[in-house]
Amino acid sequence: MSVQSSVILVVVLGFFGIQCQRILEIHTKTDPLDPNGMSNAGVTVSITNNEGRTCVARKLEEEGDTFLPGEIDAFHDQEIGNCSMFHVPNNELTGFQVTHEGSDGVWVLWYRILFDDGTYKTCPEGVHIDDEEVHELEASASKRLILQLTRDRGSSLTMRSLMIFLALLGLTQAARVLEIHVFTDPDSNGMDGFASLDLEIVTTDFRFCYARDMQEPGDTYLPGEIDVFHDKEIGDCLNFDVPDKIIPKIRAFHHGGDGLVVSWYRILFDDGTYILCDDHTNIDNEAIHTINCSAM
Ligand SMILES: *[C@@H]1O[C@H](CO)[C@@H](O)[C@H](O)[C@H]1NC(C)=O
Ligand SMILES: *[C@@H]1O[C@H](CO)[C@@H](O)[C@H](O)[C@H]1NC(C)=O
């Protein structure tokens, strides 16, 4: 292990080594270069905690299309079997196993486990899985962080070292927006393609970003489903800097005749954390909602 990654590990353990947590969701990102994703097959995920207990999310599936190339799927509640609310003391995973069933192989770039304490962890895969293959993956928040810090984007080695040093001192609390998640109320009708939803994120220093007409390939805004909007789907909110990770409010803009009840919006940051913005009210026509957000 390099000095850099040891330093990161110490920082990460500092951040994540305190509480006991439960699993809320399992996410997958299908490789954009996968020619057709996966449709007539499935992957089963088994997660082992540091007490040696294992939960099983059999054949990840949800309503609407799943495993489309380049898309992120969020599986939750009964979709992840007894992994839903599975206890993971110290967020420590000692095993993460993926089993493929069926003959339609898939490239999954990574799996992500979202906990109920405002954090998530990522397990990179990135290799093809097919037939009855079994892959053992390694879950680590630190890898994710290293990935973020060392992603080229013009940042030099000195810059990265400086960031790591500042992180060690606890001086950099700013994080960047990675994704916007929308949970459509299970008891609502969802929203069809003739209506659209924009989201504006406002920071404490009064800057804002705008995600216009949040859409993704496949079905969106189905009742009881979580949509994950990312990359160009969130406009200039991608990599938007949020000082202290505080978003005092977001504003939702509805257009069109088919109203929608969003239970909550979630803003996922690039540092292994997220915040929630509770809504639960109907938005229709040209209405604008201002919604408060809070850390978990
Ligand atoms: C989850 O279900 C599997 C069987 O499908 C079982 O082996 C495992 O022990 C269960 N885990 C928990 C935490 O209940
Ligand atoms: C959101 O926060 C503002 C200011 O703190 C408060 O006035 C308002 O009532 C809150 N709205 C909701 C729906 O909680």
Residue 80 Cβ contacting ligand 1 at under 6 Å: no
pLDDT tens-digit readout, 118-157: 999 999 998 999 999 999 998 765 444 444 444 444 455 5
pLDDT tens-digit readout, 187-204: 999 998 889 999 999 999
Closest CA to 275 of 234, 239, 237, 247: 247
162: pLDDT strictly greater than 50: yes
Residue 44 Cβ contacting ligand 1 at under 6 Å: no
Whose C-alpha lies nearest to ligand 1, atom 5? 56
Single pTM value for the model = 0.84
Residue 161 Cβ contacting ligand 1 at under 6 Å: no
Q: Give the pLDDT confidence score for residue 194 in this predicted structure.
A: 86
Q: Are the C-beta atoms of 178 and 171 separated by less than 8 Å?
A: no
**Domains 16-137 and 175-295 alike in fold:** yes
- Architecture of 16-137 per CATH? Sandwich (2.60)
Residue 55 Cβ contacting ligand 1 at under 6 Å: yes
Whose C-alpha lies nearest to ligand 1, atom 4? 56
> In this structure, what token pair is assigned to residue 63?
């309503």
Structural domain boundaries of the chain?
16-137, 175-295
Q: Are the C-beta atoms of 245 and 174 separated by less than 8 Å?
A: yes
Whose C-alpha lies nearest to ligand 1, atom 6? 55
Q: Are the C-beta atoms of 184 and 195 separated by less than 8 Å?
A: no
- Give residue 290 CA to ligand 2 midpoint distance, Å: 9
- Give residue 204 CA to ligand 2 midpoint distance, Å: 15
- Give residue 258 CA to ligand 1 midpoint distance, Å: 41
The superfamily CATH assigns to domain 175-295 is PLAT/LH2 domain (2.60.60.20)
Element (H, E) at 166: helix 157-169
